[in-house]
Amino acid sequence: MQKIGGTVLKKKIGYGLMSAALMLGAIGCSGNGEGGGDWEPLDKNTETKLKVMYWSMEQFQREYGMLFQNEFPNVEIEVVSRQGIFNDTSKSREQIFNELVDKEQPDVLFLFENEYESMARNGKLLDLDVPIQMSSYDMEGYNPAILSLLRNEGDGKLYGLSPFFTSEALFYNIDLFNKYNVELPRDSMTWDEVFELAKRFPTDGDEKNRIYGFTIDGFMSPLFSTLKIGAAQNLRVFNAEATEAQLNSDAWRKVFETIVGAIKSGAFYLPTEEEQNKQMRMLEDDRFVMGRSAMTFQSPSQVGAILNAKNSLKDVTPVNWGLVTAPVDPNNRTQSGSYNYSAVFAINSQSGNAQAAWEFIKYANSADYAQIRANSSNGELFSRTEFNRPQDERDMAAFFKLEPKAELRSEFKNLPDGLDWMVMEIMARELTAAANDKKTLDEAIQTIQEEAQATLVNMKANQEK
């Protein structure tokens, strides 16, 4: 049964009973931004209909639908697909998304950062603190960093839950550290300490065989991480009013000097322009996976690359790796800002079936769901952190053991979309020029400052048109 904007996942349902249930739901569960509604547990024999936003019916069924319908077999689910909705470049992403929601009115919304924050602050989502309290939903073991982020973007209220989160950590090659008698990395190092360790590895040898102290291999320049390195030290690109760039400050200069110095020393690998422009990357292109890098800063997806190489590259010795937390602020070594949530499930404030919507969100974020998914995890980090099981016999706690910083929101949250990427591109280009002696560091910093300022002004002006 196909419907415009959605696909229905059907069980055998008595439509008379379903209609009655929907009528009762409309009376008892109609919500508002304050979380009003009937939050009694949904009887598993109740026949009702739930409209859920997701990528596609197939993906939803594979990742959530089959498991949820094992719990609630009489819930008929219609999936509203958001796949490819932003292909229309004549409209803004916000306009396209809002039009889809207004037209289809899903009960459960599947939201990303800006969407979640915008809808929460515009009263379009139900406050989940109410059903959490009324249903005594167990939040013990849920990553506090993710709850903090979600509450920050909801002005203190919790409007959604995210089953998964993202983070980064420092991977290291145990055998290389032992071979060159360098002490192993430890949790809560600073970026300066990471680069100093990287400089203790040899820099001789031809390009195809030599090792590096530190690499970040991928489709983008590793210098795109400059922004993260500064953010770890609580440095801001713009002033508090977001009117002036401040990238020519002494603190930012020190960051730039450290990075360029590490590259010039041969410790930090800077790929050539040709390598950066590759349309396809192979496992062999990852120096850490191939045993030619002492350290790398990556997400849990790096574990997948290591395991893939172990299983498929039979002529390559598997890397013997370890893991420590992301680098931190030297003045605050117990906290990290290297956290973000993945997509969020939230309840549409216009939903006529908030009760069933809450049952789905409860299940998708439950320990039961995480336990089942953990058996086939492909590098995801569960917000229920106890289910982040060892990978390749290594503990994954480095991705979430540090406390979250009090302020995890990026300064770019309330600035024009894409501004952070533009700033990263400017930084990467200019620091590359400085590292290759095509510019002095002073000249590079001056250009970074001027172009970041001009980009801010131009993007703000275009946003106001």
Residue 13 pLDDT: 36
Q: What angle do CA 435, 438, 441 make, to 5 degrees?
A: 55
Give the closest residue to 463 by CA, choosing from 152, 247, 242. Answer: 242
Strand 48-54 and strand 75-81: the pairing is parallel
Place of tokens 């360790």: 197
In three-state form (DSSP H/G/I as H, E/B as E, the rest C), the secondary structure along 247-301 is: CCCHHHHHHHHHHHHHHHHCCECCCCHHHHCCCCCCHHHCCCCCCCECEEEECCH
Give the integer Cα–Cα distance in Å for 110 and 346.
7
Residue 16 pLDDT: 36
Rounded to 5 degrees, φ, ψ at 152 are -55, -40
Residue 19 pLDDT: 36
What does the chain come to in residues?
Answer: 465
Place of tokens 């690998």: 269
In three-state form (DSSP H/G/I as H, E/B as E, the rest C), the secondary structure along the chain is: CEECCEEEECCCCCHHHHHHHHHHHHHHCCCCCCCCCCCCCCCCCCCEEEEEEECCHHHHHHHHHHHHHHHCCCEEEEEEECCCHHHCCCCCHHHHHHHHHHHHCCCEEEECHHHHHHHHHCCCECCCHHHHHHCCCCCCCECHHHHHHHHHCCCCCCCEECCEEEECEEEEEHHHHHHCCCCCCCCCCCHHHHHHHHCCCCCCCCCCCCCECEECCCCCCHHHHHHHHHHCCCCCCECCCCCCECCCCHHHHHHHHHHHHHHHHCCECCCCHHHHCCCCCCHHHCCCCCCCECEEEECCHHHHHHHHHHHHCCCCCCCCEEEEECCCECCECCEECCEEECCEEEEECCCCCHHHHHHHHHHHCCHHHHHHHHCCCCCCEECEHHHCCCECCECCHHHCCCEECCCCCCCCCCCCCCHHHHHHHHHHHHHHHHHCCCCCHHHHHHHHHHHHHHHHHHHHHHHHC
Residue 206 pLDDT: 87
Give the integer Cα–Cα distance in Å for 110 and 105.
12
Residue 4 pLDDT: 34
Q: Is the dihedral of CA 330, 332, 335, 338 positive or negative?
A: negative
Give the integer Cα–Cα distance in Å for 57 and 10.
11
Q: Could you tell me if 35 and 61 are in contact, meaning their C-beta atoms sit under 8 angstroms apart?
A: no
Residue 232 pLDDT: 94
Residue 3 pLDDT: 38
CATH number corresponding to 171-337+415-464: 3.40.190.10
In which residue ranges of the chain is CATH 3.40.190.10 found? 2-166+341-387, 171-337+415-464
Residue 37 pLDDT: 54
Give the integer Cα–Cα distance in Å for 343 and 311.
30
Q: What is the architecture, at CATH level 2, of domain 2-166+341-387? A: 3-Layer(aba) Sandwich (3.40)
Rounded to 5 degrees, φ, ψ at 83 are -65, 125
Block mean pLDDT (10 aa), the chain, length 465:
42 36 36 57 94 97 96 97 91 92 98 92 96 94 93 94 97 98 98 98 91 93 94 95 97 98 97 82 92 97 94 93 97 93 96 96 97 84 95 95 83 89 97 97 98 97 82
Structure-token pair, residue 353: 């079936």
Residue 443 pLDDT: 98
